[in-house]
Structure 1
Amino acid sequence: MTPEQLSTTIVDGLSTLVAEGAITLADGVPAEVTVERPRQKGHGDYATNVALQLAKKAGMNPRAFGELLAGQLLEADGIGAVDIAGPGFLNITVEAGAQGQVAAEIVAAGASYGSSDAFAGEKINLEFVSANPTGPLHIGGVRWAAVGDALGRVFTMTGADVTREYYFNDHGAQIDRFARSLLASAKGESAPEDGYGGQYIHDIAAAVVAERPDAATLPDEDAQEVFRALGVEMMFDEIKKSLHEFGVDFDVYFHEDELHKSGAVDRAVARLRELGTIYEKDGAVWLATEQYGDDQDRVVIKSDGKGAYLSGDLAYYLDKRERGFDRCFIMLGADHHGYVGRMMAMCAAFGDQPHVNLEILIGQLVNLLKDGEPLRMSKRAGTVVTIEDLVDAIGVDAARYALARYHTDSPIDIDLDLWARQTNDNPVFTVQYAHARIASLLRNAADLGVEAASHPDLLTHEKEGELLRVLAELPRVVKAAAELREPHRVARYLEELAPTYHRFYDSCRVLPRGDEETSDLHRARLMLVEATRVVLANGLGLLGVSAPERM
């Protein structure tokens, strides 16, 4: 019995009590109730505080409410005992057969185990990374690559229609500086004072000259345009290649330049003018964002007729909504924290609901440590640590796992020495090793001709019960990860599951020894092992990390 199944049983019990007139709930019976594993052993398999939550609404003492509900639950299939603790907590013990059935259900569900319809019907645009194509992808952007892709997988697992989008910043002053830097390199000159340095600039400049040998000899304005067009394309191709090798691909690459060429900015201004949130002052066009919580109104079109930075944001957001997205997510670095207020005001100015139609997630800094010291310089980029530096040091799996296992609000230090080790103090090794160990056991079972079978009543050992309860948690963990935008919950769950499996394996013999005859208990435990493999693989898959068969 999973927590979700138990929640349904409790809701059914409440509905029966209401129908019989034993209790009255003014707001009606809740659609679901919270069911958790108790923190202390001996407090049953699951606990709920539903009596504390609903007793006041029913005009009853919580313990009296709990006693009525306990009576209903004891009549339900699969419930062994219900104890009322403290002011009205219900500690519920599930019958072994009902608990053991979870293993067969997981194996039958396979890759879909952990899924739900929590976000069914939601069309989500997930914009992440979106690094400027002026240099290799740095470690901050890599964090969003790991977290953003994992969040997309979690949303998909909960029923959402997800589009991963990369906003390609190919318009503005930073692109001009990049082009001038390439041109200077091609001419053998020092980089401009406000330009970009690093070996990659020389590499790309040489590649542009190889494709257009006359580029550096053109008049500066024409030459700069050639280096801009070809250089940006080459740099972005490298970024896309790096991300692909990191296991991250996007459904849409949206070019900022198109917003300004297509008239999208004018359309956004016209829409806002219709809504009465645009006005003109001092020859400029302003958006009245202060009335929506921003600290001041913002210029959209400057007095010289050129679009301010916000103009692109307006056009891009409107474009997403016109493409039918219900929820638009933007993932930004910590240096963009002050950006949130104006974006939410912009959302409200369009008549949308901030933090619903538009959500902005902020990610904190990432530091790489080598030999206990911060790693600050890239061999190639010259100024920042890049995705290649991280992958070269610890590999894709460890890099993705390390970046996704922390709350995005937390700055993280990644110890490269630790994450490269194949020991139990390396979290990704611990989880992957558990999967590989199970795969080995399953191969041995196949060699012995032992097949898994469902005998749920036989899984009565304490360690079997512990493992079953952890396995049953995956759907709840995935749903919470989606609702809270916290894919790190999946990683932490896997780090609980792996040692729980090892404790089970050390206490419960799975395969027969020597001439020992294969029993139904062996087959039932093999089903439990296979269920664990499914859950480990599904959890690792949500993080974009492989589930190895051998290590």
Structure 2
Amino acid sequence: MIRDDLISLIQQAALKAQATGDIPIFSLPDVVIERPKNPEHGDYSTNVAMQSARLAKMAPVKIAEALIAHFPAAAFIGKVDLAHPGFINFTLSDSWLAQQVAVIEAAPDSFGNSDAGQGRKAQVEFVSANPTGPLTIGHAWGAVLGDTIASLLTATGWDVTREYYFNNGGRQMRLLGESLRVRYLELLGQQNPIPQDGYQGDYLRWIAAALVAEHGDGLVEAGVDVFRNKAELSIFANIRATLARLGVDFDVYYNELDLYETGKINAAVQALSTSGYAYQKDGATWLRATDLGLKQDRVIIKSSGEPTYRMPDIAYHVDKLERGFEYIVDIFGADHHATWPDVLAGVRALGYDTSDIQVIIHQFITLLRDGQEVKMSTRRGEFVTIDALLDELTTPSIPGRDVMRFMLLTRSADSSMTFDIDLAVKESSENPVYYVQYGHARICAILRKAAEEGFSPGEYADGDLSLLVHPAELKLLRKMIAIPEIIADATAQLAPHQLSHYAQGLANDFHVFYHECKVVTAEPDERQLSLARLRLCAAARIVLARVLGLMGVTAPERM
């Protein structure tokens, strides 16, 4: 990447400046390369001279002057400037920029990728909803975040496993079975109240109707376990189908029950007790979390002998590490913010390093329809399912999946999300997904029109890139070649929303280029320029399709 190359060149310049005595001998601090907000300050900038002033006992400006004087020649650098009080600004070479079209053409499916992960094993756990009801819009955010992060990790050289963890035992599943039994008996004329904290959603009426159709009154005497199993099978089939509609496919579905059957939970509890990190109090087993840097100890085994949800999660994360994953990403909803520190503390207490376990907590989503907030409560059965919203978001121009995925990637996970349905289905530049996809479709239309007018792909594939000198062309090129850094940063920071922001910026720069530069002209003396611009368009299409692909969004050829 350009940033890495600049860091290397700055380090070389420092060694040369020290060898000539222009600056004293000292260890250069870590070089940080940033993009200036003001384009007049170049494409990249560093404050390393200011960071070195105390170490060198020298004015930042003098250090910067020495570094610039000894800066090695590099084809991609057009200009190196000093800006007070000691910034060094770098401007990319226009001719080098134009030639990057060929680099993009050479790697249409992988431009921007890296081998940072070096094939190491990574796991992304997301969604992980228990089979107690349909997936809702809240689950959708976690699904899109996780799937996109997994794609980013793959693009940066990791061997990625997408994993879904679920619990089909415990109190909530029993309540689900009891609630379904009530709905089943209700259809047979027996009226019973839904149990306290039971499930009210209409989806249980639909499952009950299917049971009546299949079994008649043959399940009247059946126990709760039968209804729990029937509910689980039906709901999980629906969950998988919903995820498929959203474009999410898991490699592993991990059942919490496996942790019990293999003895991993008991083994973890025993190990915590042996190490002194678990103790008995009031008939319960407690995790000595205060010895692990947390504010209070936590119950991990209730006095009834039933584990709290923390204990299986501790055992599950140990299992992840035992399976050889070197990088683990957990994506949870906001309701988990208080529990995950306890889980990681328990894993550390068992002797494992948790520094490579990253936890993302995404906030709640506020859904707007006709400018009004849509009220939701899963327990009361008042919620908007992913399936229903996908149907509502689908328009003649854009599939609902594209709209949902793109819109859910417009905000960082730690920000509140307001999902405006009216905006999401609007076919105008106000709608970011429409704007970006229209950019790709426009490029395709330009290339089709060019072919009709006698500009074949074979001809513009050899277009003279040195003719790309217009400011709008160069600005577009600058945006296009930024994708390696966007992918690297979005991966390192686990911030896939950067992709949507980049896509919008790229589409905007293309639209500006399109309006300022006539791509196809019939004038014979401008044919070579048309060929060069068509080649630029084709490369822009590659980059725009790449970023949309990472987001799991289609790149339409017509809209």
Q: Specify the TM-score bucket, using the shorter chain as the normaliser.
A: over 0.9
Partner of 1:72: 70
Is the CA contact 2:169–2:257 (under 8 Å) kept in the aligned structure 1? yes
Corresponding letter in the other structure for 1:437: R
Partner of 1:444: 449
Deviations 1:256-299 (A, max 9, x none): 12222221111222333454423334443332211112222223
Classify 1:313/1:95 alpha carbon distance in 2 versus 1 (closer, same or farther; 3 Å).
Answer: closer
Q: Unpaired runs of 5+ in structure 1?
A: none
Partner of 2:397: none
Deviations 1:123-145 (A, max 9, x none): 22211111121111111111111
Give the C-alpha shift of residue 541 in structure 1.
1.1
Partner of 1:287: 287
The residue matched to 2:435 in structure 1 has which SS?
Answer: helix
Between 1:298-307 and 1:147-156, the stretch displaced more is: 298-307
Higher relative contact order at CA 8 Å, sep ≥6: structure 1 or structure 2?
1
TM norm structure 1:
0.92
Provide the C-alpha distance between the structure 2 equivalents of 1:126 and 1:414, rounded to a whole number of angstroms: 25
Is the CA contact 1:14–1:29 (under 8 Å) kept in the aligned structure 2? no
Partner of 1:208: 211
2:518 matched to 1:491?
A: no
Give the C-alpha shift of residue 4 in structure 1.
4.5
Provide the C-alpha distance between the structure 2 equivalents of 1:303 and 1:491, rounded to a whole number of angstroms: 49
Deviations 1:399-449 (A, max 9, x none): 111111101111111111111011000000111110110111122333422
Give the C-alpha shift of residue 339 in structure 1.
1.2
Partner of 1:330: 330
Classify 1:548/1:378 alpha carbon distance in 2 versus 1 (closer, same or farther; 3 Å).
Answer: farther
Equivalent in 148, 167, 173 of residue 146 of structure 2: 148
Classify 1:400/1:44 alpha carbon distance in 2 versus 1 (closer, same or farther; 3 Å).
Answer: same
Classify 1:515/1:454 alpha carbon distance in 2 versus 1 (closer, same or farther; 3 Å).
Answer: closer
Equivalent in 481, 484, 488 of residue 479 of structure 1: 488
The residue matched to 1:77 in structure 2 has which SS?
Answer: coil
Partner of 2:118: 120
Give the C-alpha shift of residue 215 in structure 1.
4.7
Partner of 2:396: none
Equivalent in 514, 525, 547 of residue 505 of structure 1: 514
Give the C-alpha shift of residue 515 in structure 1.
5.0
2:196 matched to 1:193?
A: yes
Between 1:539-548 and 1:184-193, the stretch displaced more is: 184-193
TM norm structure 2:
0.91
2:178 matched to 1:180?
A: yes
* Number of aligned positions between the proteins: 544
Provide the C-alpha distance between the structure 1 equivalents of 2:25 and 2:180, rounded to a whole number of angstroms: 71
Classify 1:318/1:377 alpha carbon distance in 2 versus 1 (closer, same or farther; 3 Å).
Answer: closer
Is the CA contact 1:73–1:79 (under 8 Å) kept in the aligned structure 2? no
Classify 1:475/1:6 alpha carbon distance in 2 versus 1 (closer, same or farther; 3 Å).
Answer: same
2:414 matched to 1:406?
A: no
Provide the C-alpha distance between the structure 2 equivalents of 1:533 and 1:139, rounded to a whole number of angstroms: 31
Classify 1:173/1:427 alpha carbon distance in 2 versus 1 (closer, same or farther; 3 Å).
Answer: same
Classify 1:454/1:380 alpha carbon distance in 2 versus 1 (closer, same or farther; 3 Å).
Answer: farther
Is the CA contact 1:481–1:490 (under 8 Å) kept in the aligned structure 2? yes
The residue matched to 1:300 in structure 2 has which SS?
Answer: strand
The residue matched to 2:33 in structure 1 has which SS?
Answer: coil
Report the aligned-residue RMSD. 2.5
Provide the C-alpha distance between the structure 2 equivalents of 1:379 and 1:57, rounded to a whole number of angstroms: 59
Deviations 1:466-523 (A, max 9, x none): 1111112111111111111110011111111111111112222222x22525644333
Provide the C-alpha distance between the structure 2 equivalents of 1:24 and 1:521, rounded to a whole number of angstroms: 51
Q: Percent of pairs identical after alignment?
A: 42
Provide the C-alpha distance between the structure 1 equivalents of 2:530 and 2:176, rounded to a whole number of angstroms: 65
Is the CA contact 1:124–1:327 (under 8 Å) kept in the aligned structure 2? yes
Provide the C-alpha distance between the structure 2 equivalents of 1:38 and 1:306, rounded to a whole number of angstroms: 56
Partner of 2:439: 434
Is the CA contact 1:82–1:92 (under 8 Å) kept in the aligned structure 2? yes
2:529 matched to 1:531?
A: no
Give the C-alpha shift of residue 543 in structure 1.
1.1
Corresponding letter in the other structure for 2:327: R
Q: Unpaired runs of 5+ in structure 2?
A: 394-399
Deviations 1:184-219 (A, max 9, x none): 11101342232111221011122234444455222x
Give the C-alpha shift of residue 121 in structure 1.
4.4
Classify 1:535/1:282 alpha carbon distance in 2 versus 1 (closer, same or farther; 3 Å).
Answer: same
